[in-house]
Amino acid sequence: MPTQKQIRASYRLARDAYRAVGVDTEAAIRKALSVPISLHCWQADDVRGLESRTEGVDSGGIMATGAYPGRARSGDEMRSDLDLVLKLLPGTQRLNLHAFYAESEGGPVERDQIGPKHFSRWLAWAKARRIGLDFNPTYFAHPLAASGFTLSHADPSVRSFWIAHARACRRIAQSFAKALGKPSVINHWVPDGAKDCPADRWGPRERLKESYDAIFRDRSIDPELCIDAVEGKLFGLGSEDYVVGSQEFYSSYALTHRLVPCLDLGHYHPTESVADKISALMQFHPRILLHTSRPVRWDSDHVVILDDAVRALFLEIARGDVWDRVFVALDFFDASINRIGAYVIGARATREAILIGLLDPTARLQSAERMGRGHERLALMEHAKALPWGAVWDELCLRDEVPAGADWLRDVARHEKAVLSRRR
């Protein structure tokens, strides 16, 4: 592991190498530290939630696989795991909660009955750490989602239940924003869809639209405080043939209702580039929400690593300089490895991609392009790949007083021995 002195020396060389292509590493470090990343609470417990009855209920289109020991089994265990995660991450973090992480004294509360008081421990935790809270209605892992339909269900009483749930969730998100003085992003994703060849692809979409209209009609919600996002996908587990909330459905709905489209890296055909969608969508949408995830052959929600898709995504954000119009959130769940390790790997990879995007010699590349010097543009792009971003990253970690390189593995090993190994 490099010493502080070695990191400083490598950084000085890296700074000069970047300066030679017109890139200011100091500005890149400052900006990369300031971009908020919303940590999803659901990696800590394999998306099980805290309602005791979710065991045995169909997970609803998503699935964490693996049985690595040490899963958090309560809100307190989740928060203590997240404390360690926060200590090992450079930069600004937020926490992203799902509604089924409600905590209540004396028995579970139904989802249409939840309120801010069921999240008071999460709120106190966030307040003490000065981090913002984001939120998600949980439209899955529930008996009323077992048919595979929620907001688009044919039965109006099922739809009303989920509409009431969504409305309750928006009030909770708004209460977080007021208490913390930071807006809360609330993301709506429903698992609704069909495994095979439905005869009616129209009805569910019509009903989904009507349900959302009923949800967003609530005038007591301030859109500056509670920022609603909607997340579509191409297919899911058990909805391989038909997803009611497809990309077309949601980008149109978001545009006409001033909501934020959410793009999850795992939700498209493998040959589609999510990065290329950004400059198209953002001609029309003032803001977007990104879920960094990693599909391995399908929407498998593997831990984010520094792969081409993540790099390309943040390179586009950097080249468009739209950092203040983008919300970044993590969305993966792997139960087969140490879950704290999973968080740190995924969150660090996401911020590394942000930094690498900010270190791009965009001005040089674009000027070569404007002058019609295509070979120069391509050669500089190739050269940029070899520039020492790792030295800048270690310096960024040093400045934010978190372990550089893979030094954080020691903390995770210690915690596994002292805490996780006792969870049986």
| Residues labelled catalytic | 189, 231, 233, 264, 267, 291, 299, 301, 331
CB of 291 to Zn ion, least distance (A): 4
Helix and strand numbers, DSSP H then E, in the chain = 14, 12
Please select the residue that binds ligand RNT; options are 11, 18, 42, 135, rule is CB under 6 A.
42
Going through 232-351 in order, the beta strands assigned E by DSSP cover 242-243, 260-264, 288-292, 294-296, 298-302, 326-330
The residues pairing with 328 across neighbouring beta strands, listed in sequence order, are: 37, 290
Contact mark string toward ligand RNT, 48..77, x via CB under 6 A: --------------x---------------
- 51 contacts 101 by C-beta, under 8 angstroms: no
Q: Which one of the spans 112-120, 278-286, 328-336, 397-405 is the region binding Zn ion (CB under 5 A)? A: 328-336
**Residue 232 binding: pick among Zn ion, ligand RNT, none (C-beta 5-8 Å cut-off by kind):** none
CB of 304 to Zn ion, least distance (A): 12
CB of 237 to ligand RNT, least distance (A): 9
238 vs 403, beta carbon nearer ligand RNT = 238
What single-letter DSSP state applies at residue 236?
Answer: B
Contact mark string toward ligand RNT, 242..271, x via CB under 6 A: ----------------------x-------
Cα radius of gyration (the chain): 22
Contact mark string toward ligand RNT, 307..336, x via CB under 6 A: ------------------------x-----
Give Cβ neighbours of residue 217 (< 8 Å, ≥ 6 apart): none
Contact mark string toward ligand RNT, 288..307, x via CB under 6 A: ---x-------x--------
State the Cα–Cα distance between residues 276 and 292, nearest whole angstrom: 15
Please select the residue that binds ligand RNT; options are 100, 189, 212, 235, rule is CB under 6 A.
189
CB of 299 to ligand RNT, least distance (A): 6
The residues pairing with 184 across neighbouring beta strands, listed in sequence order, are: 226
Closest residue to bound ligand RNT by CB = 189
State the Cα–Cα distance between residues 271 and 266, nearest whole angstrom: 11
What is the residue type of 69?
Answer: P
- 376 contacts 330 by C-beta, under 8 angstroms: no
Query: Is 386 buried (19+), middle (13-18) or exposed (0-12) by CB count in 10 A?
Result: exposed
Question: Is 264 near Zn ion (CB under 5 A)?
Answer: yes
Give the position of tokens 């997340």.
231
State the Cα–Cα distance between residues 153 and 235, nearest whole angstrom: 18
331 vs 394, beta carbon nearer Zn ion = 331
264 vs 316, beta carbon nearer Zn ion = 264
Q: What residues line the site for ligand RNT (CB under 6 A)? A: 42, 47, 62, 136, 189, 231, 233, 236, 264, 291, 299, 331
